[in-house]
Amino acid sequence: MSRTFTLGEAQTLLPVVEALLRRAQKSGTRAAELEGELDQQRQRIFLHGGVHVDVALTARRRAERDKTLQETKDTIAEIDAIGVQVKDLDKGLLDFPCVMDGETILLCWKLGEKEIGYWHSIEEGFAGRKPIDARFGRTERERPN
């Protein structure tokens, strides 16, 4: 089983994982922009039957795209290593596994929210979000046997 968090622990970690999420989003956006430039260049070459290509510039763009893609993957892996799940990078959805009443549920946070205010079952996903209630004062971390 992956790591679980109490609501307090998840809330304390939120600024750290939010900063990582923003970094992943920024590098992911840049990688997509670079991929778009390379796609446009490929399309121009295709339509015109070949055009003069600045090979050095193209190589730099590809290297930058590859580097930003790797930064995105590495940052997501860093969030995952903390135990937090990235559900949607573009929307900024994060889930923190939590144990309540002996069952694993997910504390749910979306970029722009001031704090973790929602949860859902593993099966329900984001569409099944419910507001945090008094039961969450009693959440506990899973302890190894």
pLDDT in tens, 91-139: 999 999 999 888 999 999 999 999 999 999 999 988 899 999 877 765 5
Cα gap 64→41, rounded to integer Å: 16
| H or E element at residue 21 | helix 7-48
Residue 95 lies in a domain: no
**Residue 137 has what DSSP assignment?**
G
Q: Is residue 99 part of a domain?
A: no
Interatomic CA distance for residues 136 and 102, integer angstroms: 12
Report the alpha-carbon angle 20-72-57, nearest 5: 135
For residues 5, 73, 20 and 121, what is the CA-based torsion angle, rounded to 10 degrees? Answer: -30
Which pLDDT band holds residue 90 (cuts at 50, 70, 90)? Answer: very high
Q: Domain of 39?
A: 20-83
| pLDDT classification of 49: cutoffs 50, 70, 90 | confident
Write down the residue that tokens 């039957």 correspond to.
Answer: 49
Residue 136 forms part of a structural domain: no
Tell me whether residue 66 is in a domain: yes
> What is the arithmetic mean of pLDDT over 18-33?
97
CB-based contact 26:92 (threshold 8 Å)? no
The pTM score is: 0.83
**Residue 97 and residue 83 in contact, taking contact as beta carbons nearer than 8 Å:** yes
Domain total of the chain: 1
| Other CB atoms within 10 A of residue 27 CB | 20
- CA–CA separation, 19 vs 14, rounded Å? 8
The residue among 41 and 80 whose pLDDT is bigger is: 80
pLDDT for the residue 133: 85
